[in-house]
Amino acid sequence: GSGKVTATPEQGDVEFLSPVIIGGQTMNMDFDSGSSDLWVFNTQLAAASQAGHTNFDVAKSTTFKMLTGSTFTISYGDGSGAAGNVGTDTVNIGGATVTSQAIELATAVSASFVQDTQSNGLVGLAFSKLNTVKPAQQKTFFDNAKDTLAMPVFTADLRKAAVGAYEFGAIDSTKFNGSLSWAAVNTTSGFWQFSSQKFQVGTGTAMNVAGGQAIADTGTTLMLVNAAVVNAYYSQVTGAVNNQTVGGVTFPCNSQLPDLSVDVGGNYMAVVRGDDINFAPVDQAGTTCFGGVQAIASNLQIYGDIMFKSQFVAFNNGNNSIGMAPHQ
């Protein structure tokens, strides 16, 4: 079979939320191709942490089973995190169903998760080797579902300030222009990692980038790239400055931003629209804006939602490859 759900952007496209039915309870969750735990807000949490969220209640599920003695502890790139205990239940994502999916029940969550009241947890879609459950590591929803799917793939169709979709088991070719360009994925680190050795600012010349690796990460809001890419890109933007106080590069909100093209697998230059790189104003007057492309110290670049808003992406675990094409 296959399963398709909406991906609805939060204010400012900070994250995209999708409905997941767990033991008959619908939870709006953040699908994250950069991690491998499925965890939920639930009634074990302190009342102050539960406030404003939809909280999974094991007592209301007739299919939930505790995995006695199992725990999880996860932390994310921005320092946020969650921890708790674990059970299994039936998970249905748009019709794609897994009967015994590990459901990680947070007993503690960091403040930024509590404040993000629209999100009721995460669905990790990276490789199961990154799952944090102990003593026995658990599989992701996609890993559990893939043998029953018509194809061992899922796709991300994320749209700027508009409702998009995640689909499991099928590739909807009406959603992208032309055909997908495929790149080999190196699964060693547990991410959807591929070679990305060149970049191009606007119509300029292609330049090499150190390290030349990137991951496709739907759970990261921005595009975090090598400092050389950031410098080359914003050198083309009048008034761009590295603003320590706000923690990254800002520029005048009325800037005409160039596109940024990044190499995917050595045979496709993914064009990220300049307009999408104007992420959000940092001041009340809306005169100074924060860039959607920012620097990361590591050589492993993180292509997050800023890229997904320009590119339809297919994640293929059949032959461990990633496919991209501009949105239709």
Ligand X SMILES: O[C@H]1CN[C@@H](c2nc(-c3ccc(C(F)(F)F)cc3)no2)C1
Q: Which residues are catalytic?
A: 32, 217
Per CB under 6 A, does 30 bind ligand X? yes
9 prior amide bond cis, ω within 30:
no
* Nearer Cβ to ligand X (191/234): 191
Residue number with CB closer to ligand X (64 or 290): 290
Task: Report 104-133 residues binding ligand X (CB under 6 A).
Answer: 110, 112-113, 116, 119, 122
The span from the CA of 77 to the CA of 48, in Å, is: 24
Cα 128–chain centre separation: 16
Examine residue 258 and tell whether it contacts ligand X (CB under 6 A): no
Answer positive or negative: Cα dihedral of 302, 306, 311, 316.
positive
Q: 140 in the Ramachandran plot: left (φ > 0), alpha (ψ -120 to 50) or beta?
A: beta
Answer yes or no whether residue 80 interacts with ligand X by CB under 6 A: yes
Q: Binding ligand X by CB under 6 A: which of 13, 37, 217, 263?
A: 217
30 near 122, Cβ under 8 Å?
yes
Q: Does 220 bind ligand X (CB under 6 A)?
A: yes
Chain Cα centroid distance, residue 212: 20
What is the sign, positive or negative, of the torsion defined by CA atoms of 222, 226, 231, 232?
negative
CB of 75 to ligand X, least distance (A): 7
In the stretch 31-70, what mask flags binding to ligand X with x, by CB under 6 A?
Answer: -x-xx-----------------------------------
Q: Which H/E stretch holds residue 21?
A: strand 16-22
Task: State which residue, 96 or 222, has the beta carbon closest to ligand X.
Answer: 222
Minimum CB distance to ligand X smaller for 90 or for 140: 140
Q: How far is the CB of 70 from ligand X (least distance, A)?
A: 21
Place of tokens 């307009």: 275
Q: How far apart, in whole angstroms, are the C-alpha atoms of residue 324 and residue 176?
A: 9
**Token pair 């995917």 in the structure block, residue:** 264
Nearest-CB residue for ligand X? 219
Window of 72-80, 83-91, 225-233, 245-253 that interacts with ligand X by CB under 6 A: 72-80
Q: What is the C-alpha to C-alpha distance for residues 316 and 328, in angstroms, rounded to an integer?
A: 20
Q: What share of the chain is helix, strand, coil (3-state, %, to 5)?
A: 15, 45, 40
Q: Which is nearer to ligand X, 91 or 122 (CB)?
A: 122
Contact segment (CB under 6 A) with ligand X among 29-37, 141-149, 239-247, 261-269 equals 29-37
Q: Is 76 in the site for ligand X (CB under 6 A)?
A: yes
Window of 5-13, 64-72, 73-81, 308-316 that interacts with ligand X by CB under 6 A:
73-81
Closest CA to 272 of 258, 256, 261, 257: 261
Binding region for ligand X (CB under 6 A) = 15, 30, 32, 34-35, 76-78, 80, 110, 112-113, 116, 119, 122, 217, 219-220
